[in-house]
């Protein structure tokens, strides 16, 4: 069969689109095959009730580097913002609250100086981490001078932090976030918020070792922003950039199989039976799906298959969308802050208890919640005078005891109870609601395990061993087959760096 394309990208999530654009700009003929009816993966906007639209999974843009947005000309391709640098507000049930904005606390004088100190220091460490995000991680024990140089540079950067900061970095990096924030602060609202921040998107609680790493990971991002029109506006702009570079994008084109011939990925077979050949195949699907379903373990050695099977990627975050007939009124919160990023995580113990349930396959009794009312900043999302509320809810284990269909209504009611406690009267405003559990996120957006990052962000699944040794530099044991999604370094969040790094590897011809 004649080779029609230089590269096929399986999946039109944001990383697949970024990867495709860089490949096309590098002179390659590229085809993106997306299984769903629209591109975007977990970064889309969709109508969930007549007239009410919401960012269906990811709802805040904070991890995509500005340089990447500029390089891809996303503003020219239609991306604009309804709000940037949203403050984060930790809400208490009696109207008390703590506001965090640009590294400062605007309430709770007692903790203000300690907060600025900690955030400044953590941001320094996060910058160190972020410097590794922009390139493939070095290979372990490869003997290659480039890998050695890359490791040496990392050691040097650590050393250049200075003795005091380097020691502090080494002291805290393996710690749990609970112990770190307990050391520093008195306010339960502040401690709860930081504890929740560290475990967002993960199956961990604040006392889980390694949660300082996941906090630093989140701090590599910048201010929380609301793309105008929701997160779908980001992936629409990315798709426009891809098309402008010459990429062909097909939707409703689910890949069923990656075919290997003469030790090389040579073509893909769609569910429809159509076969398309290419010199390289790059998968935006998660690593388990890519290796175990699309490729098939028969092409891989048993040790590699075992490592892939062991990737921890069972989602523990749900999404609740509420269509509201009017704006919710948050008790005790000045109205200027109602459009902020609001957290219901009033103490470390609250978040830990919420997590504990999920260890035993139960959804939290009192879940921790990140909520926004994006229509307060962007009136394109709801009918005039009406609003949408979008909430990330933890913890909601992928496999809940008794099954999600039995649990869905009760869990929704418990989430609404928590929202009602900080915004009395909200329940009466609900016109429609939608709860997306991890299995829903998996089936509707192709997120394997419904997991935020296509695999936990944890020491055993990070940097040089993400997703697994042997595939951590975007190329895989199969010549011509690459990965480009959140399951690779540096991980998930709408960031685009996995896509860009993967494209660079394909362009260099790394196999």
The window from 14-22, 94-102, 109-117, 403-411 that contacts ligand FAD (CB under 6 A) reads 14-22
The window from 55-63, 143-151, 209-217, 354-362 that contacts ligand FAD (CB under 6 A) reads 55-63
Q: Which is nearer to ligand FAD, 404 or 452 (CB)?
A: 452
CB of 14 to ligand FAD, least distance (A): 4
CB 432 within 8 A of CB 323: yes
Q: Which is nearer to ligand FAD, 57 or 119 (CB)?
A: 57
What is d(CA 72, CA 240) in angstroms, rounded to the nearest whole number? 10
Measure the CA angle with vertex 124, ends 501 and 142; round to 5°: 40
Among 492, 497, 500, 502, binds ligand FAD (CB under 6 A): 492
Torsion, CA 127, CA 129, CA 135, CA 137, rounded to 10: 170
- Please work out the total of residues on this chain that contact ligand FAD, with binding judged by CB under 6 A: 39
Cα atoms found within 13 Å of the Cα of residue 90, Cβ hemisphere only = 25
Q: Which is nearer to ligand FAD, 423 or 435 (CB)?
A: 435
Q: Would you count residue 16 as binding ligand FAD (CB under 6 A)? A: yes
> Which position has the token pair 């949203």?
86
Q: Would you count residue 46 as binding ligand FAD (CB under 6 A)? A: no
What are the DSSP E strand ranges found in 315-456?
317-324, 341-344, 368-372, 387-394, 430-436
CB of 221 to ligand FAD, least distance (A): 7
DSSP β-bridge partners for residue 321: 390, 434
CB of 251 to ligand FAD, least distance (A): 9
Q: Would you count residue 324 as binding ligand FAD (CB under 6 A)? A: no
Cα 24 to Cα 27, 40, 425, 479, distances in angstroms: 5, 18, 52, 20
Cα 249 to Cα 36, 237, 259, 498, distances in angstroms: 12, 13, 21, 19
**Burial of 272 from C-beta contacts in 10 A (0-12 / 13-18 / 19+):** exposed
DSSP state of 292: I
What is d(CA 40, CA 56) in angstroms, rounded to the nearest whole number? 10
Q: Which is nearer to ligand FAD, 59 or 77 (CB)?
A: 59
What is d(CA 114, CA 116) in angstroms, rounded to the nearest whole number? 6
Q: Would you count residue 284 as binding ligand FAD (CB under 6 A)? A: yes
Q: Would you count residue 267 as binding ligand FAD (CB under 6 A)? A: no
The window from 75-83, 347-355, 407-415, 488-496 that contacts ligand FAD (CB under 6 A) reads 488-496
Among 8, 23, 36, 429, binds ligand FAD (CB under 6 A): 36
CB of 259 to ligand FAD, least distance (A): 13
Among 115, 196, 411, 452, binds ligand FAD (CB under 6 A): 452
> Which position has the token pair 């520093």?
184
**Which residue is at the shortest CB distance from ligand FAD?**
13
What is d(CA 173, CA 240) in angstroms, rounded to the nearest whole number? 40
Q: Would you count residue 494 as binding ligand FAD (CB under 6 A)? A: yes
Q: Would you count residue 317 as binding ligand FAD (CB under 6 A)? A: yes
The window from 35-43, 99-107, 258-266, 406-414 that contacts ligand FAD (CB under 6 A) reads 35-43
CB of 275 to ligand FAD, least distance (A): 14
3-state secondary structure 47-93: EEECCEEEECCCCCECCCCHHHHHHCCCCCCCCCEEECCCCEEEECC
Interacting residues toward ligand FAD by CB under 6 A = 10-16, 33-36, 41-43, 57-60, 63, 254-255, 284-285, 289, 294, 317, 319, 392, 441, 445-447, 452-453, 485-486, 492-494
């Amino acid at each position: 069969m004649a080779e029609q394309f230089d590269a096929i990208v399986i999946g039109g999530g944001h990383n697949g689109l970024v990867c495709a654009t860089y490949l096309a700009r590098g002179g390659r003929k590229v085809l993106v095959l997306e299984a769903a009816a629209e591109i975007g993966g977990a970064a889309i906007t969709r109508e969930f009730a007549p007239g009410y639209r919401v960012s269906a999974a990811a709802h805040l843009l904070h991890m995509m580097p500005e340089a990447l947005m500029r390089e891809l000309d996303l503003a020219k391709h239609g991306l604009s913002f309804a709000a940037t640098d949203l403050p984060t507000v930790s809400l208490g049930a009696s109207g008390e609250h703590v506001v965090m904005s640009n590294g400062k606390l605007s309430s709770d004088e007692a903790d203000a100086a300690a907060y600025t100190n900690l955030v400044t220091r953590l941001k320094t460490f996060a910058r160190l981490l972020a410097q590794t995000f922009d390139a493939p991680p070095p290979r372990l024990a490869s003997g290659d001078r480039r890998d050695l140089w890359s490791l040496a540079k990392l050691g040097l950067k650590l050393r250049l932090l200075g003795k005091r900061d380097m020691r502090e970095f080494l002291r805290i990096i393996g710690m749990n976030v609970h112990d770190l924030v307990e050391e520093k602060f008195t306010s339960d609202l502040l401690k709860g918020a930081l504890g929740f921040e560290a475990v967002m998107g993960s199956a961990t609680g604040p006392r889980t070792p390694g949660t300082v790493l996941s906090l630093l990971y989140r701090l590599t991002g910048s201010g929380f922003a609301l793309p105008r029109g929701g997160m779908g506006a980001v992936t629409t702009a990315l798709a426009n950039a891809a098309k402008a570079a010459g990429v062909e994008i097909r939707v409703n084109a689910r890949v069923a199989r990656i075919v290997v011939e003469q030790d090389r990925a040579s073509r893909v077979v769609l569910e429809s039976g159509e076969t398309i050949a290419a010199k390289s195949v790059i998968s935006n699907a998660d690593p388990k799906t890519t290796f175990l379903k699309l490729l098939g373990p028969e092409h891989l050695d048993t040790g590699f298959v075992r490592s892939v099977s062991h990737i921890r990627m069972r989602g523990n975050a749900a999404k609740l969308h509420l269509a509201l007939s009017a704006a919710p009124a948050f008790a005790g919160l000045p109205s200027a802050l109602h459009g902020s990023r609001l957290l219901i995580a009033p103490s470390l113990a609250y978040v830990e208890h919420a997590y504990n349930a999920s260890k035993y396959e139960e959804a939290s009794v009192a879940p921790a919640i990140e909520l926004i009312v994006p229509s307060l900043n962007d009136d394109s999302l709801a009918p005039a005078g009406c609003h949408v509320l979008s909430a990330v809810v933890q913890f909601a284990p992928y496999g809940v005891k008794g099954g999600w269909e039995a649990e869905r209504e009760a869990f929704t009611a418990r989430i609404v109870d928590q929202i009602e406690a900080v915004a009395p009267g909200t329940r009466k405003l609900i016109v429609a609601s939608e709860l997306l559990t991890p299995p829903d996120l998996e089936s509707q957006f192709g997120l394997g395990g419904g997991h935020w990052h296509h695999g936990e962000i944890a020491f055993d699944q990070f940097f040089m061993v993400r997703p697994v040794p042997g595939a951590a530099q975007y190329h895989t044991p199969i010549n011509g087959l690459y990965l480009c999604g959140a399951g690779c370094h540096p991980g998930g969040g709408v960031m685009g760096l996995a896509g860009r790094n993967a494209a660079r590897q394909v362009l260099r011809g790394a196999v």
